[in-house]
Structure 1
Amino acid sequence: MKATAKAHPIQGLIKYHGMRDEELRLPYHDSISVCTAPSHTTTTAAFESDLAADRYVVDGEELTGRGAERIGNVVDHVRERSGIDARVRFESENDFPTNIGFGSSSSGFAAAAVALVEAAGLRMTLPEISAVARRGSSSAARAVTGAFSHLRTGLDDVDCRSERIETDLEDDLRIVAAEIPAFKHTEEAHREAAESHMFEARMAHIHGQIATMRHALRENDFERAFELAEHDSLSLAATTMTGPAGWVYWEPETLSVFEAVRELREDGVPVYFSTDTGASVYVNTTEAYVDRVEGAIADLGVGTRVWAVGGPATVLDERDALF
């Protein structure tokens, strides 16, 4: 009863903010994202009857406290569904920087859910597994179904699950990841989201944003989709900055990237910035312009990676197991 899985992290396009139920991680509203590849998390999970307690290791470090608790929420749900009464050995590795705004929790919990479900012998579709992954992180639901995906809000696992949105933009999108290492605290921001006076304003327009994004993706309209993602990043920041903690997560380098993107766009380059709850920036462009865009960001002295669109979470061969 051992399995290994791989998942790609997500870039939020229309981002969720705040949860109506923290235990089940049910978000207040829908969200849409795109997975970034080849960045990925690999996770091996095994149910072992001779273990005295669950053991969770991520990037070589054994987790305790809140990190272990969040993985335990997913593990306990899989145990309950499968009827397995055994402890879990769990190891996970990321091949990209974590906790700086590049969605590591999404790929981490997506790979965990797929590995655990496979190890438990459960037969579930990817949308069904997305509801399992959501118990660790709402964004992980979308990393399960991969590429461009839409997580619908709801009060149960039938409604609150992810589905993939088919679009030809999967082939042309290139993402220059501008690495700005500043540790983020996403969970704290979600916890206080509804206390911002800007939250109700965000809720009032988010449904229209979701509909517009879905239409733009189906029409393969790059400019419309990623202009909307850029504006949503600003809306999200307005909400986090006006919460009780006044949480500002951008750094001076973040603003420099924004300005470079706007200058490129004035010069005719199709390029838009996007941020999640972190200082790092996703710079979205097309294959034809990615080298020029990457060079402009690198000239700022900011570390860069170039990503394309990643697919759904997958089960790997036994030889890829981490233990």
Structure 2
Amino acid sequence: MTKLSDTRKVRAYTNIALIKYWGKRDDKLILPTSSSLSLTLDAFYTETAVSFDESLEKDTFYLDDNLQDEAATLKVSRFLNLFREQADLKAPALIKSTNYVPTAAGLASSASGMAALAGAANLASGLNFTPQELSIFARQGSGSASRSVYGGFVEWQKGTSSADSYAVKIDNADWDIGMVVVVVNKNQKELSSREGMKQTVATSPFYAGWIESTAVDLVNIKKAIGQRDFEQVGEITESNGMKIHGTMLGANPPISYWEPDSVLAMQLVRKLRKQGIPCYFTMDAGPNVKVLCRLSDSKEIKTAFLNYFSEEQLIVSGPGSDLKEITF
């Protein structure tokens, strides 16, 4: 019998895509239509503990100390079934997760959440996957979770099948890289990423062009990272982010996650660049703006933003590390 004493706890950091993932070619396996690249951040993370225990009647899921309803637990149960089947386990699980990321607000909480769940289930089940194998499993919970297995700059390779669609580390990002996250709105967004993605792929006439151009962006940003050319990395990041939002605007009905303060933040970034501070913005499926910068410039950038945003809305982050086990 697997007992509660076998509880394993894992921390996974969230990641922000610089080359965006937007669209699936297989909804069940979460196989993307294009490869993507991200930066893992140390300021946002999820810690999840998992234990398999035959004395439990059913899977029990707590998020931030709150017992979750049947729908939320079912999503977790289905994901854990991947590990139970692989490990030939029948026992229900107790899952306790703490999210240090605003949920569903465009700050990639699903990435750290599912990566942490995958990591804890991997250890609790005794499977002890390699990082590559774990990335494949994490991907089936949330596409972006495949990247949160690693720290630094990470590429999720779209692959040709489930077996070769996984993330790989490109660079540790240990060369004065950081982000200032501008939390415009931390509330749950009205249109989920999953639904927004489906709508864009199905109806936007710009989507084919997006797929073609993002492949070029990926090649170029990897080259820039290899050369540690920060300005080139930033320019590609900003361009790619705006292209995906333009593609969303082409959907029917049009999709926009922006709020007035989102536009204000972007304008401030452009102003700072004109003043000689290299910084570049990107946005995911939510109103919050992420400012890619040199970590050494982050204090000055935050100070400039404090003229328009509160202290609580501005979070400075350095690069996050690989997924790791937390001891009790």
Q: Report what 1:41 is aligned to.
A: 46
Q: Report what 2:316 is aligned to.
A: 306
Q: Report what 1:191 is aligned to.
A: 198
Q: Of 257, 264, 287, which aligns to 2:295?
A: 287
Shift in Å at residue 187 of structure 1?
A: 1.3
Q: Report what 1:3 is aligned to.
A: 8
Q: Report what 1:271 is aligned to.
A: 279
Q: Of 213, 223, 234, which aligns to 1:215?
A: 223
**2:200 touches 2:250 (CA, 8 Å); kept in 1?**
no
Q: Report what 2:180 is aligned to.
A: 176
**1:18 touches 1:189 (CA, 8 Å); kept in 2?**
no
Q: Give the letter aligned to residue 314 of structure 1.
A: K
> CA RMSD for the aligned pairs?
1.5
**1:100 touches 1:180 (CA, 8 Å); kept in 2?**
no
Structure 1 CA distance for aligned equivalents of residues 131 and 92 of structure 2: 24
**1:14 touches 1:31 (CA, 8 Å); kept in 2?**
yes
Q: Deviations over 1:177-232 (max 9, x none)?
A: 10111532111112223121111110111211111111111111111111111111
* SS of aligned partner of 1:51: coil
| Bigger shift: residues 287-296 or 149-158 | 149-158
Shift in Å at residue 73 of structure 1?
A: 3.2
The TM-score normalised by the length of structure 2 is 0.93
Q: Deviations over 1:272-319 (max 9, x none)?
A: 0111111001111113311110111221125101100001111111x1
Q: Give the letter aligned to residue 267 of structure 2.
A: E
Shift in Å at residue 155 of structure 1?
A: 4.2
**1:294 touches 1:304 (CA, 8 Å); kept in 2?**
yes
Q: Does 2:173 align with 1:163?
A: no
Structure 2 CA distance for aligned equivalents of residues 80 and 155 of structure 1: 24
Shift in Å at residue 21 of structure 1?
A: 1.2
Structure 2 CA distance for aligned equivalents of residues 72 and 19 of structure 1: 22
Structure 2 CA distance for aligned equivalents of residues 106 and 156 of structure 1: 21
Q: Of 36, 50, 56, which aligns to 1:51?
A: 56
**2:178 touches 2:294 (CA, 8 Å); kept in 1?**
yes
Count of residues paired in the alignment: 317
Q: Give the letter aligned to residue 243 of structure 2.
A: S
Superposed counterparts of 1:77-96, under 5 Å: 77-96=82-101
Q: Report what 1:143 is aligned to.
A: 148
Q: Report what 2:109 is aligned to.
A: 104
Structure 1 CA distance for aligned equivalents of residues 113 and 308 of structure 2: 30
Shift in Å at residue 60 of structure 1?
A: 2.7
Q: 1:223 to 1:132 in 2, by over 3 A?
A: same
Structure 1 CA distance for aligned equivalents of residues 226 and 289 of structure 2: 25
Q: Give the letter aligned to residue 197 of structure 2.
A: H
Percentage of pairs with the same residue: 27
* SS of aligned partner of 1:38: strand
The TM-score normalised by the length of structure 1 is 0.94
Q: Deviations over 1:5-52 (max 9, x none)?
A: 001001110011011111111111101001111321100011011111
Q: Report what 1:235 is aligned to.
A: 243
Structure 2's unaligned 5+ residue stretches are: 1-5
Q: Report what 1:117 is aligned to.
A: 122
**2:40 touches 2:150 (CA, 8 Å); kept in 1?**
no
Structure 2 CA distance for aligned equivalents of residues 109 and 75 of structure 1: 10
Structure 2 CA distance for aligned equivalents of residues 210 and 154 of structure 1: 14
**2:210 touches 2:243 (CA, 8 Å); kept in 1?**
yes
Shift in Å at residue 65 of structure 1?
A: 5.7
